Structure 1
């Protein structure tokens, strides 16, 4: 069973609101807004496997001490019930948007070990080092503008710039290429992402992974149907309900590589 912010359980909402409250206690008057994107905003959130995707906006850049406290908060909060993916940007980074976009702080489970090591050793190189940039932010901000949710703070239209289409395409194509390479290791996530990139390039539809999967069942070649049914079921329920064979994804991989390549060159 999958959900969005309106239909999700009280536990999920309390998890998000608790994170918001603790984040504001750390950021204080520097806080501008707290915004949802991804599956919890668009639909398709699976409590068994989905991340909660958040962008937090501040007025000024974060001080080092504030970054440390936020990193500790995210380490404690993430996977307590649900994994987090959080990016923190300041107003200047949004007002003078560039691609890839710089950010003040990013957390996801991918970075957990690095943060834990730095905080335990009190080195903080990853928190205080050079300015880092994230090409995915062009896609995240586009989705916030189209389908995001402001949980608290200034309205989305007042905070986020409109992202040039070329930046958005660059962002999603980067993820598309990663998914082509990793479809056998992560078949559910990668298959659904391949579909939604193809759907956007073909019809300019910005979709959730679940919406893309449902569209794929009725719009993609029937040779994919059996595998897509399993992918969508795993995504909406528990990821290991169905197993896959390597051969199932050869046609899918070749189809999207060829067709997306043609759409990008036309």
Structure 2
């Protein structure tokens, strides 16, 4: 079963609130607001496989010492029981909009090994004062503005800028390009994400992966319905392991991409 914030379990709510309390304590009280985006606000959150997606905004840039403490905390907390993806930005990075968007700190399971090595070896390859930018943030902010939840602090509209459509499109096309290449490696994620980009270009709809899959299963030619429904079924059930047909995946990918290129 999948959830969103309004109907999720108390365990999920407590996990999120505890994360934000500890994050605020590490940052030492200069938090402007904490915000929830992603599947837990859009619908389709699966407790067995989905990330909890958070954004935190601070008054001032983070110190290196604070970044290291945050990395240690999220290494301990993420995947216990839910994986966490969080970006922390300071107010000036939002007031002076740039794309790709600068940020102070980011954690996701993708970064786990790098941070573990960084802290163990006492290096400063990643946790430093170098300017870092993330193309994904434009898409996160667009979704936050449309669906997001302010958990603490100032309202979303008072903190986050309106995102130019051109920057949102550039942001989602970055991930789209990777999905074209990796559909055999991550068939569920890539199938649903390709459909999400196609739907946005076709109708201007900003959707969750689940919504995009349901749309594709209704709107695309019938020959693609099986593979789309397979992706939807596995996305909603972590206990399902689907053996995808490579030919079906490639045909769907090529069909979607041909239409996307025409729309672009």
Q: Into which bin does the TM-score normalised by the smaller protein fall? A: over 0.9
Mapped pair 1:131 → 2:131: yes
Counterpart of 2:94 in structure 1 is 94
SS in 1 for 2:162: coil
Counterpart of 2:170 in structure 1 is 170
Within 2, Cα distance between the matches of 1:144 and 1:202?
A: 21
Q: How does 1:205-216 map to 2 (within 5 A)?
A: 205-216=205-216
Q: Note the residue ranges of structure 1 that are not aligned, 5 or more in a row.
A: none
Within 1, Cα distance between the matches of 2:152 and 2:187?
A: 35
Within 1, Cα distance between the matches of 2:129 and 2:18?
A: 29
Counterpart of 2:18 in structure 1 is 18
**Of 125-134 and 165-174, the range deviating more from structure 2:** 125-134
Mapped pair 1:7 → 2:7: yes
Aligned residue pairs total 264
Contact 2:47 2:82 (C-alpha < 8 Å) held by counterparts: yes
Within 2, Cα distance between the matches of 1:253 and 1:215?
A: 16
Within 2, Cα distance between the matches of 1:242 and 1:121?
A: 40
Q: Note the residue ranges of structure 2 that are not aligned, 5 or more in a row.
A: none
Contact 2:64 2:129 (C-alpha < 8 Å) held by counterparts: no
Deviations 1:87-119 (A, max 9, x none): 101100000010000100011101101101111
Within 2, Cα distance between the matches of 1:11 and 1:258?
A: 43
Counterpart of 1:259 in structure 2 is 259
Within 2, Cα distance between the matches of 1:18 and 1:132?
A: 27
SS in 1 for 2:35: strand
Deviations 1:11-56 (A, max 9, x none): 1111101101101111123101111111011100011111111111
Counterpart of 2:195 in structure 1 is 195
Counterpart of 1:142 in structure 2 is 142
C-alpha deviation, 1:239, in angstroms:
5.9
C-alpha deviation, 1:120, in angstroms:
1.2
C-alpha deviation, 1:10, in angstroms:
1.1
Counterpart of 1:231 in structure 2 is 231
Contact 2:86 2:107 (C-alpha < 8 Å) held by counterparts: yes
Counterpart of 1:64 in structure 2 is 64
TM-score normalised by L of structure 2: 0.98
Counterpart of 2:38 in structure 1 is 38
Q: Which runs of 4+ in 1 moved over 3 A?
A: none
Within 1, Cα distance between the matches of 2:152 and 2:221?
A: 43
SS in 1 for 2:246: coil
Counterpart of 1:117 in structure 2 is 117
Contact 1:49 1:239 (C-alpha < 8 Å) held by counterparts: no
Counterpart of 2:104 in structure 1 is 104
Within 1, Cα distance between the matches of 2:263 and 2:28?
A: 46
Within 2, Cα distance between the matches of 1:37 and 1:263?
A: 27
Contact 1:90 1:103 (C-alpha < 8 Å) held by counterparts: yes
